[in-house]
Structure 1
Amino acid sequence: MDLLATVGGGLSLSALLSGCGSSEDSGAAAGSEEGGSELDEPVKIGYIPITDSVPLILAHAKGYFEEEGLKTEKPTLIRGWSPLVEAFIANKLNMAHFLIPIPLWMRYNNDVKVKVMSWAHTNGSAIIVGGHTEAKDFKDLGGSQIAVPYWYSMHNIVLQMGLVEAGLKPVIKDQGAELASDEVNLMVMPPPEMPASLAAKKIDAYIVAEPFNAMGELKAGGRVMRFTGDIWKNHPCCVVCLHEEQTVRKPIWTQKVMNAVVRANVYASKNKEEVAELLSKDGMGYLPMPAAVIKRAMTHYGTEEYMASGACRNTADWKNGRIDFQPWPYPSATKFMVDWMNKTVVGGDNSFLDGLDREMVASDLVDYDFVKKSCEMYPEWKDDPSVNPTDPYKREEVLSI
């Protein structure tokens, strides 16, 4: 079952859920089969081959889960958000990273008991325009075909912020349909397909997580129009998710999992080049791209070329990176996301957002307890440039479109 097609058609996950039982039912069955320590269940990670996944796959690569006394299976690489969501709901995975609006949609539109446990990273995405275009800013994108990784994504939200600010109208039409000069046609495309589609001029631009922006620059003749972390300061993108019933049934297991993830966040923040090499296909192969691409995706930022082109405009003041790693899930960003989801054009029925209370979502969707204990165990998380060390658990959201 293709979940993207389901979303596009305005349907729910009811067919999938009826086929595999609810998350709670499946979890209870798993618990009854264990009959032993709650640490017996292996950590089963699913991930997309993007740098957003670094804390999860790095924790596995460095043996952090095992050092917490946990068993692990080899992380499962999945090439699209739809099958990753499906695998998580079917309990084939007990841990995954999702674009931050996805668990919100899963929980409140489809009653999937997913819990956001931490942020995987901040920043780490960009808008790439094709070499066949002359676009330098949002106002230049009228009449364009632009790919997003998922309707419910930070990417779709930030892209539409910029388009609307420039007086353009986001629409969803067949690619062959005529567009007005002020319309921009949006479509969902799996991230691995984006660079090749741009090179073939099937699309004019895309917005996605790294390393597919670096790949677009190096392999598809694309250029960065704007980094998303230069638009929304230190924005969340992917979040670390678990099944809620698992956090209730296995609190010791959950805490140990989060300890490993936060430890990996800290290591990635302080050792970006080393981590890029380690996880690339030239290293341990978790990410199927050369080390040069991953290194660019994680470190190449704030350069003269980006400053001159306008891709970076706030680097001097914001002092962020192309991608940064810190785990704390700021409630202000969750509330901000809820507000903007109501203003964003998506395929399918989004009526579940009507009346959705931002305060309720921030307290109900996210679990702060486990990650805070892990942050206290690894206080170096506050050293990341995206964190205010004098008041690390609070912030205000800053936009500069």
Structure 2
Amino acid sequence: MMRTIRRRRLQVAVAALVAGLAAAGCGSGGASAGKTDSEGVTTVKVGLIPITDVAPLYLGVRKGFFAEQKLKVDAQLAAGGAAIVPAVVSGSNQFGFSNNVSLIVAKSKGVPLQAITPGVGIAPGNDEACQVLVPKASPIRGVKDLPGKTLAVNTLNNIGDVTIRAALEKGGVDPGSVKFTEIGFPDMVTAINTDRIDAAWECEPFVTSLLDRGARSILNNYAETHPKLAVASYFTSAAYAKSNPDVVRRFDAAVRKSLEYANAHTDEIRGILSEYTKIPAAQATRIKMIAWPTTFERTSIEELVRLTQKYKLVDKPVGLDDLIQEPKT
């Protein structure tokens, strides 16, 4: 029953988004498009979440990769994709960053967006930045002990609980036997230490914070879902991509160069984190890192599409060629 209610809420929210976009002209790409100065430099507003995932973009700006493409990035910080998606599609922002489940759900509801560039993912050796953790004294030793327990995720019906459900099933546990509750990442640390919840799906820097307090990891849901899971992407509106193909191509080129550089210079990534996040510099040197693929891991996105259908987040399938439209070089 609760799952049905949550699904209906999600559908209502997306339906409202679609209606709002229609009223706004679905992002005409006209006056709201990024402005170009007399030297040919285009300023683009990019919706970002102040987390580790987008560090390559900040580092790329510092390294001049965007300046090489005659782009100036105006970061628009948001709490999550719920604010970024409408800002991009309405034309307020030219580009945005969002997890792929949010993009899949929005696309299935007719929201005119397209993923253009890989954002963040995992790879063997760089796949522990998000995990399900329990307190040191917890009797929970593994996923077999989760039925009847309460597990917190930052957002319900999204990439966290979708991949956890898939991992539970793989481990022989009925996902319906676990109660999912929504709590923000920072608040989970207190919630789990005060026994308000039995387990928490945390992402860095909170994974390290809990491990420092003696917490134990019982599930790596991303890795269990796919060893090279594509977690998030950079996207734009269909209208902006059509009206400004050269800007989109240049943005894609700058981001991909930033991703490639980030993978080869993780020390520099750690060094920049405290400049735009609340991660202390000392902690930034210790947190578990993720991966920044420079190409779309399509098989993993296909798996996310399948799972969103299986868990009834969408009513109709999403074709990858409709969702992912990489700029032509």
TM-score range, shorter chain: 0.7 to 0.9
Gaps of 5+ in 2: 123-128
TM-score, length basis structure 2:
0.84
Cα distance in 1 between the residues matched to 2:104 and 2:33: 29
The whole-number CA distance in structure 2 between the counterparts of 1:68 and 1:344 is 41
Segments of structure 1 that go 5 or more residues without pairing to the other structure are 172-182, 299-321, 374-401
Greater RCO, CA 8 A, separation 6+: 2
Q: How far off is 1:34 after superposition?
A: 6.1
Which letter does structure 1 place at the counterpart of 2:217? Answer: V
Taking a change above 3 Å as real, the CA distance of residues 89 and 249 of structure 1, as seen in their structure-2 partners, is closer
When residues 87 and 199 of structure 1 are mapped into structure 2, their CA distance, relative to the original with a 3 A threshold, is farther
Q: CA deviation at 1:221?
A: 4.6
Q: 1:363 aligns with which of 300, 317, 321?
A: 321
Find the counterpart in structure 1 of residue 217 from structure 2: 224
Which structure is higher in strand share? 2
Whether the aligned pair in 1 keeps the contact of 2:29 and 2:91 (CA below 8 Å) is no
Residue by residue over 1:64-90, the C-alpha shift from the partner in whole angstroms, topping out at 9 and shown as x without a partner, is 2222111222x2332344333343344
Aligned ranges for residues 54-93 of structure 1 at < 5 Å? 54-73=55-74, 75-93=75-93
How far off is 1:242 after superposition? Answer: 1.4
Q: CA RMSD in A?
A: 3.0
* CA distance 1:69–1:32, shift in 2 (3 Å): closer
| Compared CA separation, residues 53 and 32, structure 1 to 2 (3 A) | closer
- Indicate if the aligned counterparts of 1:48 and 1:79 stay in contact, CA closer than 8 A: yes
Question: Structure 1 residue 170: deviation in Å?
Answer: 2.8
Residues 48, 351 of structure 1: alpha-carbon distance in 2 compared, 3 angstrom cutoff = closer
State the distance in 1 between where 2:14 and 2:243 align: 24
Cα distance 1:144–1:91, how it changes in 2: closer, same or farther (>3 A)?
farther
Which residue of 135, 144, 148 corresponds with 2:140?
Answer: 135
Report the count of equivalent residues: 318
Partner of 1:118: 117
Whether 2:149 is the aligned partner of 1:150: answer no
Counterparts of 1:121 and 1:273, CA distance in 2: 17
Cα–Cα, structure 1 residues 278 and 351, in superposed 2: closer, same or farther, change >3 Å? closer
Q: How far is 1:102 from its partner?
A: 0.7
SS in 2 for 1:324: coil
Conserved 8 A contact 1:125-1:207 = yes
Calculate percent identity across the aligned residue pairs: 21
Q: Is the 8 A contact 2:116 2:235 kept in 1?
A: yes
2:302 maps to what in 1?
335
Contact (CA 8 Å) 2:144, 2:172: kept in 1 or not? Answer: yes
Is 1:205 the counterpart of 2:223? The answer is no
Give 1:156 deviation, angstroms: 1.7
- Which residue pairs with 1:399 in the alignment? none
Distance in 2 (alpha carbons) for counterparts of 1:36 and 1:273: 34
Q: Which of 235, 246, 250 lines up with 2:229 in the alignment? A: 235
Task: Give the secondary structure class of the aligned counterpart of 1:120.
Answer: strand
State whether residues 81 and 150 of structure 1, in contact with CA within 8 Å, keep that contact through their aligned partners in structure 2.
no
TM-score scaled by length of structure 1: 0.70
| Counterpart residue type for residue 306 of structure 2 | D
